[in-house]
Homo-oligomer: A and B are copies of this chain.
Amino acid sequence: MASEADDDLSVEALARLASLRQSIDNIDAALIHLLAERFKCTQQVGVLKAQNDMPASDPDREKRQVTRLRGLAEQADLDPAFAEKWFNFVVDEVIHHHERLASQRDE
């Protein structure tokens, strides 16, 4: 009987796991498409900055973004420290892109 109960639990747990994973996959598809759109914007910012000799990074703007995103994360019940770490990870990639654009222009 205990083993049957275990089996039930396991079948139920696996079905629940499959359902959650399907939601995660849907969310990930949306995240990838939004990240693609974000990079289209930052790509344009990069070209604009390179054309107008503006610096690749803007620490004041980044500080304001972090403050805002931490606030949004708190409202959405996401760890604000993770939101900040995640933002820095994305911005680092963007700055590398901008630096590459600027150096291509200098060549």
Contact = CB atoms under 8 A, between A and B. Distances in A.
Contacts of A67: none
Interface in A1-60: 9-10, 13, 16-17, 20-21, 23-25, 27-42, 44-45, 48-49, 51-52, 54
Copies of this chain per assembly: 2
Contacts of A87: 28
- Chain A facing B: main interface SS: helix
Interface residues of A, number: 51
A87 to B, nearest CB: 8
Interface in A64-107: 65, 68-69, 72-73, 76-79, 82-83, 85-87, 89-90, 93
